[in-house]
A and B are shown apart, each in its own frame.
Chain A
Amino acid sequence: SQTIHQWPATLVQPVGSPLSLECTVEGTSNPNLYWYRQAAGRGLQLLFYSVGIGQISSEVPQNLSASRPQDRQFILSSKKLLLSDSGFYLCAWRHNGETQYFGPGTRLLVL
């Protein structure tokens, strides 16, 4: 069966510090991978989308970047965090069909 992991689960970082969030998928190959951000009480905003290794589509201009160094690994990064980067970061994967499967998320607080 397929599983998706995200870490860390929670993170408190000072403004201006770097960020690296990791997402890995097990039990499937060549998945589509997604990074979303969710502000408190709001919907999900698609940040990045990847159809394969090294292939990243950026959906919203921002302070963040993404990389896919391996087939089942998706990394979200920032060189200098802003207060507005706070939120709930969700990774998701899709292989066949319309369903996206979400990871447990990382709650990021930038102070």
Chain B
Amino acid sequence: GQSLEQPSEVTAVEGAIVQINCTYQTSGFYGLSWYQQHDGGAPTFLSYNALDGLEETGRFSSFLSRSDSYGYLLLQELQMKDSASYFCALKEDSSYKLIFGSGTRLLVRP
């Protein structure tokens, strides 16, 4: 089967940098996505990594190491509005189905 592990909660200060880790176990791997979800809202797509390395989109970056079955989401210049839950999601075959992790709740403090 497959599984993903993320820390349940992370706290950081406004303006700082925070890294949210995701480790996975799977028999097949196509890619790793990241989604953001504010309380009561719908998840929104942040990034997708299929190959090793760093993908940068503004203040957010996502990293993947397939040999380590590991990825992370890096958030820079944290803002209060970044307080939300962040989910990594595994694509393990060509079917475009995703398996979501349990999520990391990020709290940004002033």
Interface positions of A (Cβ within 8 A of B): 32, 34, 36, 41-46, 49, 59, 90, 94, 98-105
Contact = CB atoms under 8 A, between A and B. Distances in A.
A90 B43 contact: yes
Interface in B50-104: 87, 89, 91, 95-103
B87 A44 contact: yes
Interface of B: 31, 33, 41-45, 48, 87, 89, 91, 95-103, 105
Given A98-B96, A102-B42, 6 more contacts: A42-B102, A44-B87, A45-B100, A46-B98, A46-B100, A103-B42
Contact of B45 (A41, A99, A104): A99
Contacts, number: 46
B93 to A, nearest CB: 12
Given A98-B31, A98-B33, A99-B48, A104 B100 contact: no
Contacts of A43: 87, 100-103
Given A44-B87, A90-B43, A100 B100 contact: no
A49 B95 contact: yes
A54 to B, nearest CB: 17
Contacts of A34: 97
Nearest to A49: B97
B42 A104 contact: yes
Contact of A94 (B41, B87, B89, B96): B96
B103 A100 contact: no
Contacts of B31: 98
A4 B5 CA distance: 30
A43 to B, nearest CB: 4
A44 B43 contact: yes
